[in-house]
Amino acid sequence: MFNEGGRETTVVDIHCHMTPAGAILAGQKGEEWHGVQMQQNESGNLTWELGGQRMKLTWENPSLGWESRLEKMDQIGVDVQVMSLSPAMYWYGHLGKERSLGFAQEANDSIAEAMAEHPTRFQGLAHLPLQDAQASVKELERCVKELGMAGVAVPGNVVGTDWDSPELYPIIEAAAGLDVVFFIHPASDVRFPPEDRYWFRNIIGIPLEETISLASLIFSGVFDKHPDLKVCMAHGGGFACFGLGRFDHAHKVRPEARHLPKRPSDYASNVWFDSLTHSYPKLRYLLDEIGGTKVVLGTDYPADMGQTEPVEWVRGADNLTTDEHHAVLGGNVQALLGDRMKAFAR
C-alpha cells in the first residue's frame, strides 16, 4: 500500500510475467514441453532449445513458487500483480496453428491457479492461440468468463502479421465486447534489427515493435469502430508517443494517412501506457502528452530490463505531484481493470 500525503493507494503492477508450472516441471526433469526440449541450469534458470538456439529465462529461479514472489512483492511495495505469460514463450512460429491452443490453455490454467490461491494479490491476462482467430475468441471468453481474468496479452505481431490485419480483427472485437484489457507486449521475434549486437533486438527492436503496433491500430481505424477498446501498451508505448506529432502531420499532408476522421494523437489519448520508461523526463512527457489518467504502473517483473524498485522509483519522481504518484501507482488502473479491482480492496 502506497502512503503519501496522508492517502493510501493500492499498488497494482499491470506488466509482470510468469512461467507455467508445466514448463518448470519439464525443465527440472529435462523433458519436452509442447515439443520443446526444456532444461534447468545450475543456477535454477529455465532453458530450452528452439530453432537451433539455446534460450533461457534470465530472471530468478521460477520454481521457487508463488510464496517467494509474494515475499518479493511485499519487499518492493506492490500489492497486486496482473500476470501474463513470459514473452520469451510466445512460441507462435514453433507451435503453429495446430498446437497453439493446448499450449495457451495450459498457460492460462497456470495463471488461474495462482489467482485462485491468492485472489487479493494476483490477476491475469490470457495467452491466446493467435494464429487461429476463432479458437482465440473462445479461449478469451473462457479466461474472462470462467477463470476471471482481466484481459489478454498479445505480441506486437503474430509471425509477421500486424494488428491492422483482418485475420486478427475478431480478437480485437472480442476484447472490446468483453470490455477487457488488450495488453500489447512484443515477444523475442521482433523484426528489427535482424542481428543482436549490443542487445539492440531488445533496446531498439521492442520499442519499435510497440510503435508499429499502436500505429497499426490507429491508422486501421480500430478505434473508430471500438472507441472504448482498452488497449494498454508496455514499456511506455515504445517510441510511439514521441512520434505522435509526426503522425498528426502525416494525417494533414499525406493521402495514405488522411482517411482518419480525427488526428492520430486523439486516438492515442484513449490508450493506457505503462510507466516503464526508465526516465523521469520521459515519464513526465508521457503524462503531459497522453493525459494524467492514462499512465499505469508497469515493472516487467521479474525481467532484468524491468523496474526493480517501482514504488520508490515513482516516489522519487519530483517532477510529478503527489496526486500523480498515487495515480500512476494505482489510481489510474482502476478504470482499466474496472470491477476486477474490487477483489483487491483492503
Distance CA 105, CA 159 (A): 20
Flag whether 46 is in a domain.
Answer: no
Query: Model's pTM, two decimal places?
Result: 0.95
Comparison of pLDDT for 344 and 155, the residue scoring more:
155
Domain count, the chain: 1
The model's pLDDT over 137-173, given as tens digits with 9 standing for 90+, comes to 999 999 999 999 999 999 999 999 999 999 999 999 9
Flag whether 254 is in a domain.
Answer: yes
SS3 state at 258? coil
Question: Helices H, strands E: what count in the chain?
Answer: 14, 14
Flag whether 286 is in a domain.
Answer: yes
Does position 346 have pLDDT exceeding 70, yes or no? Answer: no
CATH number at residue 202: 3.20.20.140
The model's pLDDT over 183-223, given as tens digits with 9 standing for 90+, comes to 999 997 788 887 778 989 899 999 999 999 999 999 999 99
Flag whether 28 is in a domain.
Answer: no
Compute the mean pLDDT over every residue in the chain, rounded to the nearest whole number: 93
Flag whether 228 is in a domain.
Answer: yes
Flag whether 27 is in a domain.
Answer: no
- For the sheet with 46-50, list strands across it: 32-33, 36-40, 46-50, 53-56
Domain that holds residue 270: 8-20+64-344
From the number of C-beta atoms within 10 Å of its C-beta (0-12, 13-18, 19+), residue 260 rates as middle
pLDDT of residue 327: 97
Flag whether 25 is in a domain.
Answer: no
Flag whether 69 is in a domain.
Answer: yes
Residue 231, beta-bridge partner list = 182
